[in-house]
């Protein structure tokens, strides 16, 4: 794979990672925003408030952990992209 193809692949991966990250951030925002509705919907299934709150907290923790993983993937994609750009710059520099 030549550097142009590497750069395109790195840029595509970075764009995908950024979209995943943005989508995850929006999901977390909505989850925070719907806290009481989420808990109340669980209470409608017969759970106590404490049980429903625990389920919400567990869900939130899981989503935040997944978002951290997505952030790490995005940061890695950014580093790969920068590395390819640096290699191109070195190749283009006069000797």
**Residue ranges per structural domain of the chain:** 3-89
- Residues 56, 39: contact at Cβ < 8 Å? yes
Contacts of 70 (CB under 8 A, 6+ apart): 17, 20, 21, 24
pLDDT in tens, 20-56: 999 999 999 999 999 999 999 999 999 999 999 999 9
Q: Between 75 and 93, name the one with better pLDDT.
A: 75
Instruction: Give the per-residue pLDDT at 55.
Output: 97
Residue 94 confidence (pLDDT): 75
Q: What is the pLDDT of residues 52-76, one digit of tens each?
A: 999 999 999 999 999 999 999 999 9
Nearest one of 22, 12, 14, 33 to 79, comparing CA atoms: 14
Q: For residue 1, name the pLDDT band (cuts at 50, 70, 90).
A: confident
């Amino acid at each position: 794979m030549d550097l142009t193809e590497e750069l395109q692949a790195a840029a595509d991966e970075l764009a995908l990672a950024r979209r995943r990250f943005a989508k995850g951030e929006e999901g977390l925002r909505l989850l925070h925003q719907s806290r009481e509705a989420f808990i109340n919907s669980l209470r409608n299934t017969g759970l106590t408030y404490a049980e429903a709150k625990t389920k919400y907290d567990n869900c939130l923790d899981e989503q935040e952990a997944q978002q951290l993983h997505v952030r790490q993937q995005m940061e890695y994609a950014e580093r790969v992209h920068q590395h390819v750009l640096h290699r191109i710059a070195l190749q283009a520099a006069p000797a």
